[in-house]
Structures are given as structure tokens and as C-alpha cells.
Amino acid sequence: MKRRDSIKTMFLGSLGATLTLKSCITSEDKLMLDQVWQYNYGRTYEELKWDYKVLTGKFFSNTELKSIEKIANIILPPNDKGNIKDAGVVELFEIIAKDFSTPAHNEYGEKVLRRGLIVFDEICNIRFGLKLLDCNDIQIKSVFDDIAFSDNKDEDLQEAIRLFAVYRGMVLTGYFTSEIGINDLGYKGNTPNIWDGVPEEVLKEYSVSYDEDWISRCVDQSKRNDLAEWDEDGNLLT
């Protein structure tokens, strides 16, 4: 099984966001509402204010974002279905870093996500005299090969191993929960199909049959998108 196929399998096994505000909203709130991804969903007024702060603030520098994008593309290279950029993976890192940069989250953005970039840079500098962003893919892969497995007992790499696991998990989560990633998986979910009733051979086996009147009213595929209607006595009309 190819590496990318094994990742798909892992994610398929684990698959299993009209906004209404009663308070008045300011122009800043309206701007925030227009940016909350591309969807509307139920939020309290205070949650909307927090969303605005998260979506309009900035955590990583442009250089750090480029490093994250390079790391992500090595962890999960682009294919004909899509890529890290189109899936919004780097934006996910930025959102999580800002959203979790609070005492309640033990400053996760700073102590984990930014710390990861620092540690990866340190390893690249020791090995190649370069920061990660200045290394070529072969050099970066050689580093990742050493920190991608928890059974590596090198004491000098234990922090890097833990941080890489976080990055790998976020890259895969960001990609495979995007529209592009879902299409890459081939995941269909609750996709409606055409059902014409129990197969004839099964009906015969149990010596039963459908009432033709009900068949014409309930299993008519030309009306599959019509909404059912009932009369006042609960009788089906359509």
C-alpha cells in the first residue's frame, strides 16, 4: 500500500459548523461575521467577539507561515486531487495558534506550535548550517525520518519527536477535513441513491408483494425531490 493510501485508510476509519443574533452587532462584528469561514452557524455574542479577534489578529510571521507550508507539503505532498494550500492547512495552524494562545490552553500556540518551528530550525542548523526554510526537501526529509517515530530513543530528539507528532496530526487533520481532502478520500457520506423497493426475488421468497397504489405514490423516482404532503386526516397526498 502506498504511503498516501495508508493515510487515507487511517482517516476513513476515524470519520464516523443560519447564524442568529438577538443582540445588536457593530460594524466590526459584521466584518467578522463575513469572515467566519464560509458558513453561518450558531454563536453567542461573546463567542462572535472572540471569533473576530482570532480571525483578524496575526500570530505567525510570514516566514513562519512559509516554514509551516514547507513542512506540510513534505508531510503530505500535493497530488492531482489538491494540495496543502488549497485545503487551507496553513490557515488552520494560524487559527489554532491564535485560538489556543491563552493561559487556559497553556499558551499552546507559543509553547507547542511556534516551539516546533524553533526546534526544527535548530536541528537543521546543527546538521546543515541552515534554517529549515533554506534546506532542500531531501535535507528536511532526512530530519523528519529521524523524528517521525516515537521508538527513536535518542535523548536529544525527544522534544522534536513530540512536536513533529503534533505537526503531522494537524497537517493530516487540516487536509482530510477540507473539501479537497474529503474528495481525496473518496468519502461520500450519506449520499442519496435510487431505491426501488425490496428486490423482486426477496419479495417472492417471503411470498409478499407491494400494493401497486402505494408503489406508484411512494417509489416514483420522478418525484424523488418532491416534499411529501398529507391531508388533515394524515393521509398521504403526494
Q: How confident is the model over 197-208, as pLDDT tens digits?
A: 788 899 999 999
Report if pTM > 0.85: no
Mean pLDDT to the nearest integer, 172-176? 94
Same domain, 127 and 214: no
CB 19 within 8 A of CB 43: yes
Q: Which residues of 106-143 are buried (b: 16+ CB within 10 A; e: fewer)?
A: eebbeebbbbbbebbbebbeeebeeebbebeeeebeeb
Residues 49 and 164 in one domain: no
Q: Show the cell assigned to 208.
A: 409478499
Give the residue, 100 or 68, on which the prediction is more confident. Answer: 68
CA–CA gap between residue 188 and residue 98 (Å, rounded): 32
Does 5 map to a domain? no
Does the pLDDT at position 19 exceed 60? no
2 in any annotated domain? no
In which domain, by residue range, is 223 found?
A: 192-238
Q: Is residue 3 part of a domain?
A: no
- Do 80 and 122 fall into the same domain? yes
232 and 154 in a single domain? The answer is no
- My answer on whether 158 and 119 are in the same domain is yes
Higher-pLDDT residue of 129 and 98 is 129
HEC states along 84-146?
Answer: HHHHCHHHHHHHHHHHCCCHHHCCHHHHHHHHHHHHHHHHHHHHHCCCHHHCCHHHHHHHHHH
Residue 12 has pLDDT above 70, yes or no: no
Residues 229 and 155 in one domain: no
Examine the pLDDT at 194 and tell me if it is beyond 80: no
Q: Are residues 93 and 208 in the same domain?
A: no
Residue, of 165 and 31, whose pLDDT is higher: 165
* Residues 71 and 36 reside in one and the same domain: no
Q: Which of 32, 57, 82 is the last residue of a domain?
A: 57
**Which 3 state secondary structure label does DSSP give 14?**
helix
Residue 197 forms part of a structural domain: yes
Question: Over 50: is that where the pLDDT of 25 sits?
Answer: no
Tens digits of residue pLDDT in 92-117: 999 899 888 777 777 888 999 999 99
Q: Residue 199: left (phi > 0), alpha (psi -120 to 50), or beta?
A: beta
User: Which of 83, 160, 154, 148 shows the shortest CA–CA distance to 117?
Assistant: 160
Angle CA(183)–CA(184)–CA(187) in degrees, nearest 5?
Answer: 55
Domain total for the chain? 3
pLDDT category of residue 141 using cuts at 50, 70 and 90 = very high
State in Å, rounded, how far the first CA of the chain is from the last one: 50
Judge if 25 and 135 occupy the same domain: no
Q: Which of 13-27, 74-88, 167-181 has the lowest mean pLDDT?
A: 13-27
Asked if 87 and 175 sit in the same domain, the reply is yes
Which band of pLDDT confidence, cut at 50, 70 and 90, is reported for residue 30? low
Q: What is the Cα–Cα distance from 54 to 58, expressed in whole angstroms?
A: 8
